[in-house]
C-alpha cells in the first residue's frame, strides 16, 4: 500500500475556494454545535455526543489541514455563544477566553488526530482494515478527543464557569462525548466521500432497516422490555452483522448514526433504559452504549474488509497462477509442436539418407559389376595379347635364327668388302632381334607368372 505523507495534506486549492470552504466549515460547526447544545447537561453544558468533533476530523482527512481556521472560528463562536455574558466586561472577556481555548483545542484535536491517523495507516480512509480502525479509534477518538477535552474543561474551570471539583468528571464526559462523535460521524462522512457506487435500497436492505428499528426500540426499552438482557446491545450486534456482511458500508454507518441519535433523543426526552437513573449515570451509560456499539461495528467492519481483501488477494493470486499455468502450458505445447516438427525433419532426413545409401549401394554394385566385367575383358585381352606376343616372338625368333643361319653361311664364303660389311650388319641386326625376342618372351612369362588382382 502506498504511504501518504501527511505534509501533502497542506496542498491547498485556490484562495477563494479555500476561504469558502473555511467559512462553510465554520458555519457547519456552529450549527451542529447548537444542535448538540440542545442535549447539553450541567455542569458546563457538556453533551453526550459532540457532533462537530466527527465532522472536523472527517473534513481534515478529506480536504486537508488548511481548514483549521474554520475549525477554530466555528468552535470559538459555538462555545462563546453558549457562555457569553454581557452583564460585565469581565464576564464577556472570560467567555471570549473560554471560546478561544475551545477553538484552539478543537483545531489541535482535528489536526493532530488526522496527522497521526495518516502517518500510522498511510491512507486518508482508515476504515479499510481492522488494524487501521484500531488506529483511527486510538488517534482520532482518544488522542484527539483528549486534547479537545483538556483545553475545553481547563478553560471552563479557569474562567469560573465550572468548579475545579468537577474537573475530572467533566473531563471524562467531554472526552467521551468527543470520542463518540468521532466514531459515529467520521466513518459515515468518509464512507460517503470515498464511495464508488450509487446507493440504492433493495428488499433485503428494507428488511434490515425494519428489523433494526424493532431491535433498537426493544434495546432502548421504548415499548417496554420483556426480557432483562444485559447488555442490551447484544440484540443489535446480529442485526449489524447482517448489514456488515451483506450490505453497503454507507447503510451500516447511517443506521449506526440513527441508533445513536434515537438513543440520545429518547434519553433526553425521558424514555428508554437510560432515563431511569441519575443524570450523570444515564449520561455515562448512554455514552458507553453508543461507544460500545460504534466500536464493535467499526472493528467488525474492518475485519470484514480484511476478509474481503484477503479473498480478493487470493482470487488474484489464483488468477495469476492460472494465467502462469496457461502460459507455461502454451509454451510447453509450442515446444512439443516444435520438437515434433524437428523429429519429423530428422525422420525425413534419415529417410533421405537411407534412400541415398540404397542408391549408393546400387551404384557401387553396378560399378563393381562393371569393374568385374572390365577385369574379365582385360584378362581376356591380356591373354590374347600374350598369345599374340608368344606367336610373334616365336615367329621373330624363327626369323632371327633363319637370318643368323643365312648370315653364318655367307660369312663362310669369300665376299668382297662391301658385301661382307652388309652381311656383318645383317648378322648384328639378327642378334639384336634375337635379344629383343628373348626380352619379349621373358616379359610375357613374367606377366603370366604374376598373380591376378
What are the structural domains, with CATH classification, of the chain?
Answer: 1-194 (1.10.1760)
* Model pLDDT for residues 145-191, shown as the tens digit of each residue: 999 999 988 988 888 888 888 888 888 888 888 888 898 889 888 88
Nearest to 144 by CA among 118, 170, 105: 105
Quote the CA–CA distance of 161 and 153 in Å, as a whole number: 10
- The most confident of the ranges 1-10, 320-329, 431-440 is 320-329
In Å, what is the CA distance from 440 to each residue of 59, 385, 400?
134, 12, 14
pLDDT > 60? residue 390: yes
Residue scoring higher pLDDT (285 or 21): 21
Between 295 and 323, residue with greater pLDDT: 323
Minimum mean pLDDT range among 6-20, 170-184, 220-234 = 220-234
Determine the average pLDDT of the residues in 301-320.
Answer: 85
pLDDT grade for 224, boundaries at 50, 70 and 90 = very low
Which has more pLDDT, 139 or 450? 139
Of the pLDDT bands very low, low, confident and very high (cuts 50, 70, 90), residue 449 is low
Distances from the Cα of 148 to the Cα of 75, 101, 308, angstroms: 10, 9, 36
Is pLDDT at 443 greater than 80 in this prediction? no
Q: What is the mean pLDDT of residues 268-279?
A: 61
In terms of Cβ atoms closer than 10 Å to its own Cβ (0-12, 13-18, 19+), residue 12 is middle
CB 182 within 8 A of CB 59: no
| For residues 377-391, average pLDDT | 77
Measuring CA to CA, how many Å separate 116 from each of 125, 143, 168, 202, 370? Answer: 13, 9, 26, 38, 106
CA-angle at 221, arms to 216 and 226, nearest 5°: 105
Burial class of residue 90, CB neighbours in 10 A (0-12, 13-18, 19+):
exposed
The dihedral built from the CA positions of residue 216, 222, 223 and 229, taken in this order, carries a sign that is positive
123-127, 345-349, 387-391, range with the lowest pLDDT: 387-391
299-308: average pLDDT = 82
Note whether 264 and 286 are within 8 A (CB): yes
Beta bridge partners of 41: 46
Q: Which of 17, 26, 7 is nearest to 70 (CA)?
A: 26
Does residue 308 surpass a pLDDT of 50?
yes
* Mean pLDDT for the stretch of residues 215-241: 56
pLDDT at 113: 92
User: Which residues lie across from 46 on neighbouring strands?
Assistant: 41
412 has pLDDT over 80: no
Percentage of the chain exceeding pLDDT 90:
13
Q: What is the pLDDT of residues 83-117, one digit of tens each?
A: 666 666 676 788 788 888 888 999 999 999 999 99
Q: Which residue has the cell 454545535?
A: 33
Residue 7: per-residue pLDDT? 43
Q: Residue 427: CB partners within 8 Å, gap ≥ 6?
A: 403, 404, 407, 408, 411
Specify the pLDDT at position 116.
93
- In 3D, which of 26, 298, 38, 35 has the Cα closest to residue 184? 298
Amino acid at each position: 500500500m502506498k504511504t501518504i505523507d501527511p505534509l501533502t495534506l497542506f496542498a491547498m486549492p485556490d484562495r477563494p475556494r479555500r476561504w469558502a470552504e473555511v467559512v462553510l466549515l465554520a458555519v457547519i460547526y456552529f450549527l451542529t454545535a447548537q444542535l448538540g447544545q440542545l442535549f447539553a447537561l450541567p455542569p458546563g453544558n457538556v453533551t453526550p455526543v459532540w457532533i462537530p468533533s466527527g465532522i472536523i476530523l472527517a473534513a481534515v482527512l478529506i480536504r486537508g489541514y488548511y481548514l483549521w481556521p474554520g475549525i477554530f472560528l466555528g468552535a470559538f463562536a459555538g462555545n462563546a455563544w453558549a457562555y457569553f455574558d454581557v452583564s460585565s466586561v469581565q464576564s464577556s472577556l472570560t467567555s471570549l477566553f473560554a471560546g478561544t481555548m475551545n477553538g484552539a483545542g478543537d483545531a489541535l484535536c482535528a489536526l493532530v488526530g488526522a496527522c497521526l491517523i495518516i502517518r500510522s495507516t498511510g491512507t486518508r480512509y482508515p476504515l479499510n482494515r481492522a488494524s487501521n480502525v484500531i488506529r483511527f479509534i486510538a488517534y482520532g477518538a482518544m488522542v484527539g478527543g483528549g486534547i479537545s477535552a483538556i483545553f475545553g474543561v481547563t478553560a471552563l474551570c479557569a474562567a469560573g464557569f465550572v468548579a475545579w471539583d468537577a474537573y475530572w468528571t467533566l473531563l471524562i464526559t467531554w472526552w467521551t462525548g468527543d470520542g463518540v462523535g468521532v466514531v459515529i460521524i467520521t466513518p459515515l462522512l468518509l464512507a460517503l466521500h470515498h464511495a464508488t457506487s450509487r446507493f440504492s435500497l433493495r428488499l433485503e436492505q428494507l428488511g434490515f432497516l425494519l428489523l433494526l428499528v424493532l431491535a433498537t426500540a426493544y434495546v432502548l426499552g421504548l415499548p417496554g422490555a420483556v426480557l432483562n438482557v444485559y447488555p442490551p446491545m447484544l440484540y443489535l450486534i446480529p442485526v449489524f452483522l447482517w448489514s456488515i456482511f451483506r450490505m453497503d458500508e454507507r447503510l451500516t454507518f447511517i443506521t449506526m448514526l440513527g441508533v445513536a441519535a434515537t438513543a440520545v433523543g429518547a434519553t433526553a426526552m425521558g424514555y428508554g433504559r437510560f432515563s431511569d437513573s441519575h443524570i450523570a449515570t444515564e449520561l455515562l451509560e448512554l455514552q458507553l452504549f453508543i461507544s460500545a456499539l460504534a466500536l464493535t461495528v467499526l472493528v467488525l467492519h474492518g475485519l470484514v474488509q480484511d476478509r474481503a481483501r484477503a479473498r480478493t488477494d487470493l482470487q488474484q493470486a489464483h488468477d495469476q497462477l492460472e494465467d502462469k499455468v496457461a502460459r507455461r502450458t502454451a509454451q510447453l505445447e509450442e515446444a512439443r509442436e516444435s520438437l515434433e516438427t524437428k523429429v519429423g525433419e530428422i525422420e525425413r532426413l534419415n529417410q533421405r539418407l537411407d534412400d541415398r545409401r540404397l542408391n549408393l549401394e546400387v551404384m557401387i554394385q553396378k560399378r563393381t559389376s562393371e569393374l568385374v566385367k572390365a577385369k574379365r575383358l582385360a584378362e581376356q585381352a591380356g591373354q590374347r595379347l600374350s598369345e599374340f606376343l608368344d606367336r610373334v616372338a616365336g615367329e621373330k625368333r624363327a626369323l632371327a635364327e633363319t637370318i643368323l643361319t643365312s648370315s653364318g653361311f655367307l660369312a663362310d664364303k669369300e665376299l668382297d668388302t662391301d658385301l661382307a660389311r652388309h652381311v656383318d650388319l645383317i648378322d648384328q641386326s639378327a642378334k639384336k632381334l634375337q635379344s629383343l625376342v628373348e626380352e619379349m618372351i621373358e616379359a610375357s612369362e613374367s606377366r603370366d607368372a604374376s598373380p591376378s588382382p
